[in-house]
Each structure stands twice: as C-alpha cells, then as structure tokens.
Structure 1
Amino acid sequence: MEWSMFFVSIGIAVAGYFIGDGLKNFKNPNAKSLFDSLNEDDEHQLIKENDVHYFIGISREDTKSLIQEHSDIPHIIIGGKVYYPKDKLRKWLLNLGE
C-alpha cells in the first residue's frame, strides 16, 4: 500500500510538471521544450570525416562517393583534418533530395 501511494504521488508530480510546462508555452508554440533543449548540443558538434558514414547511415565507400560528387557539403578543415558540423550536415541531407 505504501509503495503504490509513492508511485501515485510521483506520477502526479511528473504530470504536474508537464502540464505546467505546456501552459507556460501555451501562447508561444515555437518555444523550445525540454527535449529540444537537450538537442541543442548537436548545433555545435563536429563529426570526424571517418565517422560521417555512421551519421548518414550508409557504407564508408558510398559516403566517400557522396562527398566527391557533392562539393557543397558543409565541412570545415582544422589542422588538416576535415570535420562536418552535425546540425548543418543534417539540414544539408534533408535538402539534398529536393
């Protein structure tokens, strides 16, 4: 009986948090939620050239051909090594098929 009341109270507290967060952003639908703020780190994260195929989800050879065919892929060079900004690469891939 004691554990069930504990879990019920935790559930009510969590529900209250999410309802309060929703009401806080009621008049501002473009406000960032808790989950969006967790993804903010992607904006400044860099992917090494050797690891970009993991992010794209294709083989290493296919990634090399994609990079050779599309010179406009967003990248930066630091100390002779090529890095790809994760957020810009994601947006570039979404616009690639259009």
Structure 2
Amino acid sequence: MEFDFFWLAIGLAALGYFIGDGLKNFKNPAAKGLIESLDDDDDSHELLKENQIHWFMGISKEDVKSLLQEYPDIPHITINGNVYYPKEKLREWLINIGA
C-alpha cells in the first residue's frame, strides 16, 4: 500500500511537469522542448553540398548559381575538390548580408 502512493505521487509529478511545459509554450507552439533543445548542437556542424544550398535558402538553383558568382566570399571549405558550406556559418552570413 505504501508503494501505491509512491507511484501515484510520481505519476502526478510527471503529469504536472508535462502540463506545465505545455502551458508555458501555449502561445508559442514553435518553441523547442527539452529534447529538441538538446539536439540543437548536432545541427551546427553540418556541411551542405553546393546542390543543397537552394533547398536551405529556399531559392531556385539558378538563383544560387548567380549568388555564388556575385558573392565569392560566402563561407565555404574545399575537401578533395568538393565545395562544402557550413550550415551555421552560411546562416550567419545570410543574416549579415541582409542587414
């Protein structure tokens, strides 16, 4: 009987946590939860190939080609003749170029 109350208390505590977390982000549904915020660091070192930039920026492939010709200072690295773009550096560059 003593352990029944223990498990009931654990269940109520978990229920309170999840309801509180949901209400905290009620007006901001795009807010990241605890698990998503921990996974954020994995994305910062991702490299994009040149043919993936259009998807990342949300523009056409032709626009990416003209952008690369117009701005050769876009952050990139070359490995074995292949050009890669660090995702986080590219995001920062886009924010700075727009300002």
1:88 corresponds to 2:89: yes
Render the CA deviation track for 1:19-61: whole Å, top value 9, x for unaligned: xxxxxxxxxxxxxx83443211122100011111000000000
Task: Give the match's secondary structure for 1:84.
Answer: strand
User: What is the distance in 1 between the residues matched to 2:67 and 2:39?
Assistant: 30
User: What is the distance in 2 between the residues matched to 1:37 and 1:51?
Assistant: 25
User: What is the distance in 2 between the residues matched to 1:86 and 1:36?
Assistant: 17
Partner of 2:75: 74
- Any gaps of 5 or more consecutive residues in structure 2? 1-10, 22-32
Identity %: 53
Measure how far apart 1:12 and its partner are: 1.3
User: What is the distance in 1 between the residues matched to 2:40 and 2:86?
Assistant: 14
Q: Which TM-score applies when normalising by structure 2?
A: 0.67
Q: Which TM-score applies when normalising by structure 1?
A: 0.67
**Matches of residues 1-98 of structure 1 in structure 2 within 5 Å?**
9=12, 10-15=14-19, 18=21, 34=34, 35-98=36-99
User: What is the distance in 2 between the residues matched to 1:36 and 1:74?
Assistant: 26
Render the CA deviation track for 1:42-85: whole Å, top value 9, x for unaligned: 22100011111000000000001001100110000111111000
Letter in 2 for 1:80: G
- Any gaps of 5 or more consecutive residues in structure 1? 1-7, 19-32
Task: Give the match's secondary structure for 2:44.
Answer: helix
How many pairs are equivalent?
77
* Aligned alpha-carbon RMSD (Å): 2.4
Letter in 2 for 1:71: P
